[in-house]
Amino acid sequence: MQCERCNKKKATVFYRENINGRVKALRLCGDCAEVMEEAGELEDMSTVLSGAHSPLFAFTGTGCPIPLWGDAADSSKKTCPTCGESLARAAERGRLGCPACYTAFSSELAAPLRVFHGRATHTGRVSAGFRARKEAERRLSELRERLRAAVAAEEFEQAAAMRDEIRRLEATL
């Protein structure tokens, strides 16, 4: 997909803004996005996400903002093992360094993701095979927990049925 501004380079920046129902969507190369940002044509997300009224802050009952990214002093020591990005640097830039950062900073990212998306887990589009495998894994985990409870309650017939279903699910995975 080509940049909509210069029509020369590949679009790597996808900008979408919705202000009072008026939607502006652009596909830009990095250079054109930078030029437009400097000219004030695009909102600089680093300034939007850094203030005390940003979605990265939770407000207490007293009106005192608490940064959802955690304490910058503590988070600056923790880094992603893949790209070396620190959480403090990611918060400063407003984006993570690589996909592995989501795993490395999962505990720190849970609160901001809930604020932005309403939940901390992915619920978007996935392939049918992936969805079926995840559902089977969830069901397997649930069955194992119920099996432990049935054995503890000495309900051996139910436990045997659950054991058989667990084995069947494990065979399909």
Instruction: Decide if 55 contacts 115 (C-beta within 8 A).
Output: yes
Instruction: Decide if 108 contacts 87 (C-beta within 8 A).
Output: yes
Q: Is the pLDDT of residue 126 over 80?
A: no
Extract the tokens encoding 70: 């955690």
The proportion of the chain whose per-residue pLDDT surpasses 90, expressed as a percent, equals 24
Confidence at residue 130, expressed as pLDDT on a 0 to 100 scale:
86
How many Å apart are CA 110 and CA 56, to the nearest integer?
11
Burial of residue 165 (CB within 10 Å: 0-12, 13-18, 19+) is middle
Residue 45 amino acid letter: M
How many Å apart are CA 135 and CA 140, to the nearest integer?
8
Instruction: Decide if 17 contacts 23 (C-beta within 8 A).
Output: yes
The number of residues in the chain equals 173
Residue 44 pLDDT class (50, 70, 90 cuts): low
Rounded to an integer, the average pLDDT of 93-108 is: 82
How far from 99 is each of 61, 96, 106, 123, CA to CA, in Å?
Answer: 35, 8, 11, 17
